[in-house]
């Protein structure tokens, strides 16, 4: 019997997560599973979207709604209506949703109202901060799902606290959902793509001086730096900032960049910052003039356009420490046994903070600077939290068997 699974992606990290499931379908279930991919078009710049499909061998989307940017309500509404049309046409056996973006929420609403079973990959994660749009998206999606695949024990415990029954038995439905602890598909990906990244985007190619042609231009060239500065493996910080709570609040944005500049200049370390399109825009608009100029002029800070997943993996593996407000990047740092400072007041990946390899520093100048010194002075531990690298297969086994 064949099963049709419709994956909904929209934002950069979802394309990466879908790659793990696609790969498992190709390798293990090419016959019984028909995979349909719907891209909402939430991320539309080529370096935020297309490049991920190409490099990670995710099949080209069967549908693209091209919704683009808008307010949360308008963006989500456009998605719901477009997804509903496709679901009515395809009527898949289940809809796979990833993570916590507006695309996830739209998929959950559209599918559950048509009584099509929803499988949520990354279920149960909570930051306990409902001012994050992602927190609302996660909770709503979990409560519209028939299959909840949690990457961590903390996720399972959160679901139990919200009333999900961990002992539910098949047949699973929205009213009798199945909760499964499967491990993290992103851990599968990091193991799988780390080897490839070494070949496709070796660190030395990315971090060379910017007067050479090639990908290194991106690192120390894209915002006008071409002073021939070279990064040393193991002696640079990889930083990413993209959450609207940081980019759209000028006090927080200034505080983060002041701290990064201070660390770069006073700890003798370089900082590489691949910029989300919104961060690029907001830096120009919101950084105090003197700070903006110092950041741009500093030979120790390299601003770049968004990088490919392979380039990110290579940079993560070569970094001294990672500073980020991204859920995915803080976890990848952990996968590659790197400490991280999390530029948020809370995280849904509580285990990496509990074991001491990450610190929550919010957007607080003092905490960022002192956190940097604290983490680098610590004996770090990286216990096994995210499974064995076969989460995607485990998810497909469950869906096929049930």
| Residues lying near ligand UD1 in the complex (CB under 6 A) | 11-13, 42-45, 48, 69, 100-102, 133-134, 242, 244, 276-278, 326
Shortest spacing between CB 96 and ligand UD1, in angstroms:
17
The dihedral of CA 251, 129, 280, 316: what is its sign?
Answer: positive
| CB-CB contact of 82 with 61 (8 Å) | no
Instruction: Provide the minimum distance between the beta carbon of 326 and ligand UD1 in the complex, in angstroms, as a whole number.
Output: 6
Pairing state between β 321-324 and 236-240: parallel
**101 vs 132: CA distance, rounded Å:** 11
For ligand UD1, the closer CB: 21 or 67: 67
Min separation Cβ 242 and ligand UD1, Å:
6
* Annotated catalytic residue within 43, 120, 242, 276: 242
Shortest Cβ distance from residue 134 to ligand UD1 (Å)?
Answer: 5
Written as six digits, the tokens of 291 are 């700070």
Which tokens hold the place of 160? 């139990």
Strands 147-150 and 301-304: unpaired
Which residue's CB is nearer to ligand UD1, number 102 or number 210?
A: 102
Least gap, CB of 311 to ligand UD1 (angstroms): 15
- Minimum CB distance to ligand UD1 smaller for 15 or for 264: 15
**67 closest CA partner among 32, 36, 41:** 41
242 labelled catalytic: yes
Give the neighbor-by-neighbor strand order of the sheet with 340-342.
Answer: 301-304, 270-274, 236-240, 321-324, 340-342, 358-360
Q: How far is the CB of 43 from ligand UD1 (least distance, A)?
A: 4
Enumerate helices (H) and strands (E) in the chain, giving the number of each. 18, 13
Nearer to ligand UD1, 158 or 298 (CB): 158
CB-CB contact of 118 with 110 (8 Å): no
Which residues partner with 150 through β-bridges?
181
Query: Measuring CA to CA, how many Å separate 43 from each of 17, 38, 236?
Result: 15, 13, 29
42 versus 314: smaller Cβ distance to ligand UD1: 42
| Cβ contact 201:310 at 8 Å | yes
Helix axes 133-143, 102-113, angle to 10 degrees: 20
Burial class of 167 by CB neighbour count within 10 A (0 to 12, 13 to 18, 19+)? exposed
121/396 with CB nearer ligand UD1:
121
Q: Which is nearer to ligand UD1, 276 or 338 (CB)?
A: 276
- DSSP classification of residue 176: B
Residues 103 and 106: their CA atoms lie apart, in Å, by 5
CB of 91 to ligand UD1, least distance (A): 26
Q: Give burial (CB, 10 Å; 0-12/13-18/19+) of 379.
A: exposed
Query: Catalytic residue positions?
Result: 242
């Amino acid at each position: 019997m064949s099963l049709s699974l419709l994956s909904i992606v929209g934002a950069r990290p979802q394309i990466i997560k879908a790659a793990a499931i696609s790969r498992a379908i190709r390798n293990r279930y090419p016959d019984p599973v028909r995979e349909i991919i719907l891209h909402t078009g939430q991320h539309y710049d080529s370096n935020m979207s297309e490049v991920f499909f190409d490099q990670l061998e995710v099949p080209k989307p069967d549908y693209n709604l091209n919704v683009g940017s808008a307010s949360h309500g308008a963006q989500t509404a456009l998605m719901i209506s477009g997804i509903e049309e496709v679901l009515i046409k395809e009527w898949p056996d289940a809809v796979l949703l990833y993570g916590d973006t507006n695309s996830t929420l739209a998929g959950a609403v559209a599918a559950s109202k048509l009584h099509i079973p929803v499988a949520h990959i990354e279920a149960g994660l909570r930051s306990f901060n409902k001012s994050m749009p992602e927190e609302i998206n996660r909770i709503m999606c979990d409560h519209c799902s028939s299959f909840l695949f949690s990457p961590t024990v903390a996720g399972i415990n959160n679901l139990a606290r919200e009333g999900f029954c961990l002992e539910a038995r098949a047949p699973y439905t929205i009213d009798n959902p199945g909760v499964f602890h499967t491990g993290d598909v992103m851990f599968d990906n990091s193991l799988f793509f780390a080897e490839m990244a070494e070949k496709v985007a070796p660190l030395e190619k990315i971090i060379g001086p910017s007067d050479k042609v090639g990908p290194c231009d991106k690192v120390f060239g894209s915002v006008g730096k071409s002073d021939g500065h070279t990064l040393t493996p193991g002696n640079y910080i990889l930083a990413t900032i993209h959450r609207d709570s940081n980019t759209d609040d000028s006090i927080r944005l200034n505080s983060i960049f002041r701290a990064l500049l201070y660390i770069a200049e006073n700890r003798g370390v370089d900082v590489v910052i691949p910029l989300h399109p919104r961060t690029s825009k907001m830096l120009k608009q919101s950084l105090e003039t003197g700070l903006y100029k110092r950041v741009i002029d500093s030979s120790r800070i390299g601003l770049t356009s968004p990088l490919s997943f392979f380039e990110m993996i290579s940079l993560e593996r070569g970094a001294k420490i990672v500073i980020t407000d991204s859920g995915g990047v803080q976890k990848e740092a952990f996968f590659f046994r790197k400490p991280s400072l999390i530029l948020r007041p809370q995280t849904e990946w509580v285990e990496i903070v509990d074991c001491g390899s990450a610190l929550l520093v919010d957007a607080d100048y003092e905490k960022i600077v002192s956190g940097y010194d604290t983490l680098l002075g610590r004996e770090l531990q990286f216990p096994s939290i995210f499974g064995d690298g076969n989460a995607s297969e485990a998810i497909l086994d469950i869906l096929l068997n049930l």
